[in-house]
Amino acid sequence: MWKFYKLIDKKIYFFLFIHLIVHFIKIKTNRLIVTKLNNMDVTILASNFNDGFFNFILFSFIWIVGNFILNMINRYTNYKVKSYINKNINQQIYIKTLKNIKNNNVTINSNNEKHFIQLFDNISILDRIFERLLFTIPKIIIYVIFYLHSLLNFSYFVLLFTFLFNIIGVYLLRKLNNLKKTVVTKLYDLEVESRNEHIKFIKEKDEIDGIIKIQDEKVKYKKDELFYIHINNTTNELFSDVLLCFVYCYGFKYLIGDISPIKPIELMYMGVNSSNFMSFIIDFIDNYNGFKQDLIHIGSLNESIN
């Protein structure tokens, strides 16, 4: 992993740092409007509605303009980093690899032809690797840390319950996902086999018993795939709803009394983010696993990267 980070010039890390800082600020500013609503005194608004409403409209306008500026900075820094990777890393590695092949007089024959054909495809895989390493995974980590900090300030017990509950949920969903992958792999093999049988039938006008058998198997495995997709989605929704309900029920006691530490809208914010928390954990795992799979596919570029 670290060898990819070493390929990037230090000055480009400045743009990446700005990009991730802006991402964090956007998370904070997206909560500002919730905090503003949370701090508004309903009694004052009722007696002086026009002034209160105007102030909130003004705050919302500033928030929109601020978010627009942040988005512009975010897009520009993203563009700078990706442009650098495309020009100074992808292109150079590709050309360097070709020069190594030429200088070493490597003979391309039927045995290694496929290996060298894949070289061109591997360049596009590098884009995906850097996208995960520099943008997707760091952003997920920033969100998770920010939300864990918010939960910590809200309740130690809710933080512990959310953490353990999500571990169980992610484990079950990964197991279901692995079962689904097995079925998808089998479906792919059957699709290839079905295509071959179809070509054989067209050429030789052979019996269709083999085709019918394959089609029956495809229907069976497609049914299994749909079943696992249904169970996966249902499990995800169930865990999200249970966690959302738990946060609401636990936080209800904080709403009682004349001076409560939080207000309903703040509790709603915590609950919604709790239900989304597991999705971010799964995204992190999927991206990390995807990164490891990409490493397997770029074996032909390892010498150039090193």
SS (H, E, C) 176-234: HHHHHHHHHHHHHHHHHHHHHHHHHHHHHCCCCHHHHHHHHHHHHHHHHHHHHHHHHHH
| Contact indicator for 243, 273 with CB cutoff of 8 Å | no
pLDDT digits (tens, 9 = 90+) for 110-155: 555 555 555 555 666 777 888 888 888 888 888 888 888 877 777 7
Instruction: Give the residue, 215 or 273, on which the prediction is more confident.
Output: 215
Q: Is 171 exposed, middle or buried (0-12, 13-18, 19+ CB in 10 A)?
A: exposed
| Contact indicator for 25, 67 with CB cutoff of 8 Å | no
The alpha carbon dihedral of 22, 24, 27, 28 has a sign of negative
* Predicted structure pTM score: 0.67
| Contact indicator for 287, 136 with CB cutoff of 8 Å | yes
Place 229 in a pLDDT band, splitting at 50, 70 and 90.
Answer: confident
Residues 6+ apart with CB under 8 A from 107: none
What region, left, alpha or beta, does residue 245 occupy, with left being phi > 0 and alpha being psi -120 to 50 degrees?
alpha
d(C-alpha 225, C-alpha 183), whole Å: 6
Q: Which two tokens stand for residue 208?
A: 């269709």
Domain containing residue 21 = 2-305
CA dihedral of residues 294, 297, 300, 302 (deg, nearest 10): 30
pLDDT digits (tens, 9 = 90+) for 58-86: 777 888 888 889 889 999 999 989 888 88
pLDDT digits (tens, 9 = 90+) for 40-64: 655 555 556 566 667 777 777 888 8
Residue 234 maps to which CATH number? 1.20.1560.10
Q: Which two tokens stand for residue 177?
A: 């996902």
| Contact indicator for 248, 189 with CB cutoff of 8 Å | no
Counting the structural domains of the chain, the total is: 1
pLDDT digits (tens, 9 = 90+) for 262-300: 666 677 777 777 767 777 787 888 888 877 777 766 665
Q: Which two tokens stand for residue 302?
A: 């390892």
